[in-house]
Structure 1
Amino acid sequence: MKVWVSLNSHQLLEKWHQNDMPAFDFAQDRLALTGADDFYQQDGIVTAVFGKIFKVNSPKVPTGLFDAQIVAHLYRNCGDDFVKLIDGHHLILLYDIIRDFIVIANNKYQASNGYIWESNDILHISNSLESFVKHNDSCPPTTDWKAVSGYLSNGFFMTERTILDGVKKLLPSVIVTVDKGTVTWCNHAAISFNRVAFSNVDSQIDRYEGLYRAGIETFLEKERPQELGCLLSGGHDSSFAFIQGTKVFNKPIHAYTVSFKGWKFDEESYAREISNKFGGIFHPVPFGPQDLDWTVGMVRAVEEPVVSSSLPIYVLAKKAEVPAMLGGDGGDTLWGEYYPVVEFHRF
């Protein structure tokens, strides 16, 4: 997915009004757009969806529309706030030619990579950092050494910064608008954490598990995988994901675990116990010296380094023969480094 958005198209806009230029041709002059999963253009509105829309919180959408049509329909009927009505794993682009107005909206889950760079009157958006260097030969972005220093201190890049100076991550829920050449940023789904006292721990845990299962069900309803897997270590986070998955998926889940034969640290026995207890199909995947050859592929796939980049997990994902996979990554952060769990025990 690569999108180049020109920020100054007043002459093209006049050309469209005078000659009644079709929207698609005009959009090609205004946008360079490739790799969209859905594309739609009609009556001066161009929409593209990268990824998938799972849910629309509006009764105004007719049945039978594909994702890019849904975006156009909501924009026409609900105005500029249409993004707030859409849920899914997607990056949305909408271009209203008559208004000379562009919307680029990221989903609230960080489920799709997106980077943005404004340079020489061009808004360059891509899901690959490599493309910013490859497609800007005359003036490529340089290394942001302050961001690199922050990474070495913290183990990750702070906020929207990346290893390339001026290239920003599209953070969850971010909306970038280009209104007659003026770029603005905002957030469409701010998350609030309201700590409310409660007296029954069990009921709150049941509620949390219900929300977690509902999230898996939404994913399964949209993706409809014939088989489902889980990256299972036997630890708290991946075991929780596996157990909740078994409660909503109607077939045994394939449990994939990296096995380190002969190593002092090997989680296979823990993962096997969880898989057997909850009716999974267990797949130990041995990891040996020959698997170090996968390192180059992992670095190319990750692009941005993070402390938790795991070669064994990458090898699992490459070798697993299922179309969809659950995992426990992010559990520490979800629980605030386990601080709420300590509160539960103290209660």
Structure 2
Amino acid sequence: MCGISGWFDMAGLRSPDRRLAKAMNDAIAHRGPDGEGFHFEPGLALGHRRLAIIDLATGEQPMFTEAGRIGIVFNGEIFNYRDLRRVLERRGHTFRTRSDTEVILRGWVEWGPDVVDQIHGQFAFALWDRSEQTLFLARDRLGEKPLYYSILPDRTFLFASELKALMADPALPRVIDPLAVEDFFAFGYVTDPRTIYAGVRKLGAGQCMLLQRGQSPRIRTYWEPHPANVSERDLDHAADILRDRLSGAVRSQLVADVPVGAFLSGGVDSSAITALMAQAVPQALSCFTIGFDDPKFDERRYAEEVAARYDIRHHVEVVSPDDMETVEALPGMFDEPFGDSSALPTYRLAKLARRHVTVALSGDGGDELFAGYRRYLFHGREESLRGLLPAPVRRSVFGTLGRLYPKLDWAPQFMRARQTFRELSVSAAEGYFHNVAVLSDEQRAALFSPDLKRATSGYRPADLIAEHMAKAPSKDPVSAAQYVDLKTWLVGDILTKVDRTAMANSLEVRVPMLDPTFVEWAMGLPRPLKLSGGEGKVVLKRALEPLVPNDLLYRKKQGFSVPLARWFRGSFGDAFAAKLGKATPLAEHFDMATVRKLAEAHRQGWSDNSRTLWLLWMFNGFLERHGRSLRLPEPAA
């Protein structure tokens, strides 16, 4: 895994600024500590940082064809590169290296922009075709690898693996996108293609971009997640097929010339990947686990069962709420507000793994593919109830109940019906937004300053959910919700978290469940094989019964999260209160009386505001690092 950066003159052939190119590349040195490379010519600069995984001796970049016509900087791994190399060799292409990077180069000669349809892996790359004066950028199908870009007022095009590389250019406007702030406090992350900066965008998952001088960039979506035609309806047969398919995905992602290990949380998904790795690899494996001192969140004993069963070297650490050094470092890893508190243990997990391996396989994706989140169950039930009453009746009856029913955050779950009533009163998309939102529209409005509210007026984050749900390839409500998560939560939260925390430790993480053919097969399975009788991951658990202990498979889901509520009543609360006691930059954008009220209510145990407080802490950290000179857009005249 590597880091890429570049500069392209969209208007002419100005000489590139070599110092800027160096500064951009240096900003992402953690992504590739094994070396750096540059290419300069009129109108173009390419930069690369290398983390050597495949072809350690001859895989340096930027890499060019012999005549120098085509060059590339590439971040990622192409898992089918050996098969593609054989195809290209049969068509007359010759290779100078053993790297997957060269396969993309030769593939461009053979297929042009359609090379993205041939390669399978996790990647972001920029390819320069001198003869066509074309710069081509692409991002993998599920968005495992990031790619940021910006077009400056002088028609300079910048791109890089991380925001911090673009910020090396002082000409980049430091203007906050207020809609990104709204998204962050709604979802806990900034949704693609937005970034926190109005002038910077992310290339979307499954998209490519073509740039030619004098023309506007052309963005094309080359892949969308669509369900395959799946004939399996019998649970045991589908489980056998699943096990074979997932095993193949794991084997395909073990290719490396460096040590490979596994993240093992003790949950279903990571246990599946670890067990299949152990079957595929003859030599001893290492796996890595993070624990907590709170038994409600600690899964170490389940991880130990799996490690012992396969005789795997098991490395374990415990995360403490006193790890303020990591908390303070998180905003610098993400470069923009990022509100998933599990980034803290994920960073510690990656740090632990990097002491022993260079590549780790992760179980991410299982919840999204096999309906592991409880919100799918809730959404399916709510949609069934919505179908019983016309929309006007639902809005009247349940809307009224939602307004009148008290907000009982402190009460047992069965007494907290207010949210359910509100979800039943609205459309399926808006109801699902309420399921996934961290803060409701009313809560965000209470937090935001008057200026921020004016800047976001008229924007509704729920519309993003509606937009994706309308494009879902299945009308089944659970399948539609899973599709929404593939387009939003998975790429914006889960994969972003894994990439930044791992690469901050110069560790490559691979995600076998996101093999595109496996994703499409899983999407094609009928709902009862995924969610039945209140139980999620039905077929996945059945497939794993020969591999993983049943007490692990069929216990209550815990998830990889931290005891945030308790921590904010202890050391986290003390640290946050100390920040509020200073001249916090939050005061420019938020109602501080509301912020302090939320903090105090949480400390006193009157309500659980821990997720809100964490979002505020992470946003404050972003402002402290980057925001002293940031500004909102000027109001329209």
TM class, shorter-chain normalised? 0.7 to 0.9
2:203 is the counterpart of 1:190: no
2:329 is the counterpart of 1:297: yes
Among 333, 343, 347, the residue aligned to 2:528: 343
Of Structure 1 and Structure 2, the greater helix share is in 2
Partner residue of 1:18? none
Partner residue of 1:45? 69
Q: How does 1:123-272 map to 2 (within 5 A)?
A: 123-135=157-169, 137-182=170-215, 183-194=217-228, 196=230, 198-221=232-255, 223-226=256-259, 228-261=260-293, 265-272=297-304
Name whichever of 88-97 and 336-345 sits farther off. Answer: 336-345
Q: Percent identity?
A: 23
- Gaps (5+ residues) in structure 2? 16-37, 51-60, 377-524, 539-637
1:7 to partner: Cα distance: 0.9
Q: Secondary structure at the match of 1:315?
A: helix
Q: Secondary structure at the match of 1:134?
A: coil
2:79 is the counterpart of 1:54: yes
Larger Rg: 2
1:185 to partner: Cα distance: 0.2
1:146 to partner: Cα distance: 0.9
1:73, 1:168 → 2: CA distance? Answer: 29
Q: Secondary structure at the match of 2:331?
A: helix
2:58 is the counterpart of 1:30: no
2:340, 2:316 → 1: CA distance? Answer: 25
Name whichever of 229-238 and 286-295 sits farther off. Answer: 286-295
1:26, 1:110 → 2: CA distance? Answer: 26
2:142, 2:105 → 1: CA distance? Answer: 22
Partner residue of 2:8? 5
2:310, 2:246 → 1: CA distance? Answer: 17
1:229, 1:329 → 2: CA distance? Answer: 15
Partner residue of 1:333? 368
Q: Secondary structure at the match of 2:88?
A: coil
Give the direction of change, closer, same or farther, for the CA distance of 1:212–1:298 in structure 2 (3 Å limit). farther
2:335 is the counterpart of 1:310: no
- Does the 8 Å CA contact 1:143/1:164 hold for their aligned counterparts? yes
- Gaps (5+ residues) in structure 1? 13-24
Give the direction of change, closer, same or farther, for the CA distance of 1:92–1:293 in structure 2 (3 Å limit). closer
1:315 to partner: Cα distance: 1.2
Of Structure 1 and Structure 2, the greater strand share is in 1
2:311 is the counterpart of 1:279: yes
Aligned residue pair count = 332
Considering Cα pairs closer than 8 Å and 6+ residues apart, tell me whether 1 or 2 has the greater RCO.
2
Partner residue of 1:22? none
1:229, 1:10 → 2: CA distance? Answer: 46
Give the direction of change, closer, same or farther, for the CA distance of 1:53–1:231 in structure 2 (3 Å limit). closer
Partner residue of 2:475? none
Deviations 1:108-140 (A, max 9, x none): 2423221111122111101121233331x2342
Partner residue of 2:359? 324
Letter in 2 for 1:7: M
Letter in 1 for 2:359: A
Q: Secondary structure at the match of 2:120?
A: strand
1:290, 1:160 → 2: CA distance? Answer: 35
Letter in 2 for 1:129: L
1:80, 1:316 → 2: CA distance? Answer: 37
Q: Secondary structure at the match of 1:220?
A: coil
Give the direction of change, closer, same or farther, for the CA distance of 1:341–1:273 in structure 2 (3 Å limit). farther
1:82, 1:317 → 2: CA distance? Answer: 32
TM-score, normalised by the number of residues in structure 1: 0.84
1:289 to partner: Cα distance: 4.5
Deviations 1:138-180 (A, max 9, x none): 3424111111111211223223111111311122221110133
2:186, 2:294 → 1: CA distance? Answer: 34
